[in-house]
Amino acid sequence: MAKVAFLGLGVMGYPMAGHLAKAGHQVTVYNRTFSKAENWVEDYGGQAAPTPAKAAEGADFVMACVGNDDDLRQVCTGAEGAFSTMSGGSVFVDHTTVSAKVTADMYAAADAHQISFVDAPVSGGQAGAENGVLSVMCGGDEGAYARAEPIIDAYAKICKRMGPSGAGQLTKMVNQICIAGLLQGLSEGLHFAEKAGLDARAVIDVIQGGAAGSWQMVNRYETMLDDEFNHGFAVDWMRKDLGICLSTANENGASLPVTAIIDQFYKDVQNMGGGRWDTSSLIKRLRTL
Catalytically active residues, by annotation: 172
262-283: buried (b, 16+ CB within 10 Å) or exposed (e) per residue? Answer: bbebbeebeeeebbebbbbbbb
If the CB atoms of residues 96 and 281 are measured against ligand NAP, the closer one turns out to be 96
Contact residue for ligand NAP among 65, 118, 162, 269 (CB under 6 A): 65
82 forms part of the interface with ligand NAP (CB under 6 A): no
Task: Give me the least distance between CB of 39 and ligand NAP, in Å please.
Answer: 11
Q: At its nearest, how many Å lie between ligand NAP and the CB of residue 8?
A: 4
Separation of alpha carbons 173 and 99, rounded Å: 9
**135 forms part of the interface with ligand NAP (CB under 6 A):** no
- Close Cβ partners of 53 (under 8 Å, ≥ 6 residues apart): 80, 81, 82, 84, 85
Closest to 220 (Cα-Cα) out of 253, 248, 179: 179
Calpha distance 106→7 (Å, rounded)? 15
Determine, following the binding rule CB under 6 A, whether residue 9 of this chain makes contact with ligand NAP: yes
Strand intervals (E) in the chain: 3-7, 26-30, 47-48, 61-64, 91-94, 116-119, 122-123, 134-139, 156-163
Per-residue contact string for residues 95-134; x = within reach of ligand NAP by CB under 6 A: -xx------------------------xx-xx--------
Residues 185-214 that bind ligand NAP (CB under 6 A): none
Residue (33 or 230) nearer to ligand NAP, CB: 33
Residue 200 or 242 with smaller CB distance to ligand NAP: 242
Q: Based on the shown chain and the rule CB under 6 A, indicate whether residue 62 belongs to the binding site for ligand NAP.
A: no
Q: Give burial (CB, 10 Å; 0-12/13-18/19+) of 98.
A: buried
What radius of gyration, in Å, describes the C-alpha atoms of the chain? 20
233 contributes a contact to ligand NAP by CB under 6 A: yes
Contact 28, 40 (CB under 8 A): no
Cα 222 to the center of its chain, rounded Å: 24
Measured distance CA(236)–CA(243) in Å, rounded = 11
Q: Which is nearer to ligand NAP, 83 or 193 (CB)?
A: 83
Which range binds ligand NAP by CB under 6 A, 20-28, 111-119, 232-240, 243-251? 232-240
In whole angstroms, how close is the CB of 7 to ligand NAP at the nearest point?
Answer: 7
CA-based max dimension of the chain? 65
Binding status of residue 231 toward ligand NAP by CB under 6 A: no
- Rounded Cα distance between 109 and 98, Å, is 16
Which residue has its beta carbon closest to ligand NAP? Answer: 10
- Residue 232 binds to ligand NAP (criterion: CB under 6 A): yes
User: Which CB atom, from 117 or from 193, has the smaller least distance to ligand NAP?
Assistant: 117
12 binds ligand NAP (CB under 6 A): yes
Q: Which residues bind ligand NAP (CB under 6 A)?
A: 8-13, 31-33, 36, 65-67, 71, 74-75, 96-97, 122-123, 125-126, 232-233, 237
